[in-house]
Structure 1
């Protein structure tokens, strides 16, 4: 090889060495930068925690944007790179997370990939209807009204849980529940229904010696009691009135059934309301309504299974929600006059 050839080879070798050196330096700088951003927030003594919701189906870009917007991470790109390097970009789970502002990227990725989300606590009050329960589930889980309505009227679900009726009204047991933030409508409702089955079974065992009525009739009656009674102590008495009226062939004349038929709450019913043509109108039709009018709690179910032994046929509510009970129409009218006088005296 001549001198010029050797010089060319030497020049090429030097260029390659310089390129390799530059590449290594650049690689170190990039890795150092990533490492520094990766640990971003560690040096910031911030103890501010906030709740962040990662919606179901959110991809890596969406998750990074949410975290950046809430100031949990400082750089979206770094978060995505690190998630991919750790092979966790497809493992980040939806849910509600309690995260510290300016957390390290590593910590955030670990928390989201392990699905350590906060539980959601919801309370279904006794006496709520399906319509009243829906806004609770919508606000906590974002469930659509169409999905909710379809599910609570699904014949397959009704058949599986041996529910006699056209919907789950009466069987979504009112209680306080804890759910994972990623819980589905199916999971949520089945927990309500399973809780109902547990409570009904417990009450059935307690009253096995007197239990002669089919379950669906007990729940319909329990829903009337729940809707009418403000105080637990009066539930067995109200139950006795309804059962006594049924035995004598009287119409139940239960105001809450009319309100249910109207589809809206009213503090005072008019004569026109009482004439609404609905099978739920117990002022117009004899016997129990075709289904429950709300979701009763344990005490109302207990009262429906074991009513008080009385001869009461009527009751009227006073201004405090307590009831005056009567065995005859004459006595009932007297109680009505007492309540009216009391109300009138308070208006003076």
Structure 2
């Protein structure tokens, strides 16, 4: 009897061409009988009282922890009951990407499956996370976060904030003598600009050196991404009128750094901001291969602009 029971409960719940992997939820008050009925229905099987009675006999299924669990056509009743009894809930994931804004992150979190929404607006984040600055921009670590069903967006953001805060503090302590910013927050601001200017690992230190060199001699940063961040409803076309308009983020018109970060920086960008390499570069422009050409003088930079941006032969 025991061997027969174990054999029956070890049979796959579906045929080889059954449904794809899925999830199912055990709610508070669910019984083993109701779960047998729902899972059999999921795989187009008739309810089997025998499956239910054999499960009770072999593994005991009276007390069931609530949760959301993975369900595969290759599962057997033995694997299903083992997963539920041991509370091996399904893990979900969300990837929050560097270079995006916190507003973009919030929209993504609001759409995440099985995540409980507790924060509706970006302006709620400083109080919710204990951020001392008015803007929460930049203060969250980009990563793939795993969570169980009904975990809150606040929990994910807390993990992201704690990690970024630690990285900023550590990078600030490890800054080199060429670092021109005056606080950990300014370091985060500059890191966000570096993040938006280049996604290439081999360029971050040089881009950082350009901005630090400019800060050192009092040159304006003249960064397109900062200017774009300060434009409401930007349509993708940065015009001369935009560059002439004086806003808190238009670094063609203001001295020094903008008042807040402009995006979520990567860890590499934060560390590059803290440890710029030694260089004499004050300019850079994108070339035709998605990289940047760096220049020491305005004359060199203007030639590079004519060649790579205006498609004019400078030879």
Which of 333, 336, 339 aligns to 2:302? It is: 333
Which residue of the partner structure matches residue 67 of structure 2?
Answer: 93
Greater helix share, 1 or 2?
1
Which of 262, 272, 297 aligns to 2:241? It is: 272
Give 1 or 2 for the bigger CA radius of gyration: 1
Paired with 1:277 and 1:146, the residues of 2 have a C-alpha distance of 37
Matched, 1:123 2:95: yes
User: Is the alpha carbon distance of 1:144 and 1:118 closer, same or farther for their aligned partners in structure 2, counting shifts above 3 Å?
Assistant: closer
Which residue of the partner structure matches residue 145 of structure 2?
Answer: 177
Which residue of the partner structure matches residue 212 of structure 2?
Answer: 243
After the TM superposition, which residues 1-348 of structure 1 pair with which residues of structure 2 at under 5 Å, given as runs? 42=11, 46=15, 48=18, 50-54=20-24, 60=30, 67=39, 70-71=42-43, 74-75=46-47, 86-88=61-63, 91-94=65-68, 96-100=69-73, 103-104=76-77, 108=80, 110-141=82-113, 143=115, 147-149=119-121, 153-159=125-131, 163-167=132-136, 169-207=137-175, 213-262=182-231, 268-276=237-245, 278-340=247-309, 342=311
In the TM superposition, what is the alpha-carbon distance from 1:230 to its structure 2 partner?
A: 2.8
Paired with 2:104 and 2:36, the residues of 1 have a C-alpha distance of 35
Contact 2:168–2:188 (CA under 8 A) maintained in structure 1: no
Paired with 2:246 and 2:50, the residues of 1 have a C-alpha distance of 65
User: Is the alpha carbon distance of 1:44 and 1:128 closer, same or farther for their aligned partners in structure 2, counting shifts above 3 Å?
Assistant: closer
In the TM superposition, what is the alpha-carbon distance from 1:276 to its structure 2 partner?
A: 4.8
Contact 1:119–1:180 (CA under 8 A) maintained in structure 2: yes
Q: TM-score, normalised by structure 1?
A: 0.69
1:178 partner SS:
strand
Q: TM-score, normalised by structure 2?
A: 0.75
2:151 partner SS:
coil
Tell me whether 263-272 or 230-239 shows the greater mean CA deviation. 263-272
1:311 partner SS:
coil
User: Is the alpha carbon distance of 1:141 and 1:276 closer, same or farther for their aligned partners in structure 2, counting shifts above 3 Å?
Assistant: farther
In structure 2, runs of 5+ residues without a counterpart are: none
1:111-146 per-position Cα deviation (integer Å, ceiling 9, x unaligned): 335331232233333212213323443443355878
User: Is the alpha carbon distance of 1:117 and 1:43 closer, same or farther for their aligned partners in structure 2, counting shifts above 3 Å?
Assistant: closer
User: Is the alpha carbon distance of 1:49 and 1:119 closer, same or farther for their aligned partners in structure 2, counting shifts above 3 Å?
Assistant: farther
In the TM superposition, what is the alpha-carbon distance from 1:334 to its structure 2 partner?
A: 1.4
Paired with 1:248 and 1:210, the residues of 2 have a C-alpha distance of 12
Paired with 2:49 and 2:124, the residues of 1 have a C-alpha distance of 43
1:81-134 per-position Cα deviation (integer Å, ceiling 9, x unaligned): 999x95436x3213x513337853x75455335331232233333212213323
Q: How many residues align?
A: 299
1:218-263 per-position Cα deviation (integer Å, ceiling 9, x unaligned): 0000000010013122212211222222233332221111222235
User: Is the alpha carbon distance of 1:329 and 1:125 closer, same or farther for their aligned partners in structure 2, counting shifts above 3 Å?
Assistant: same
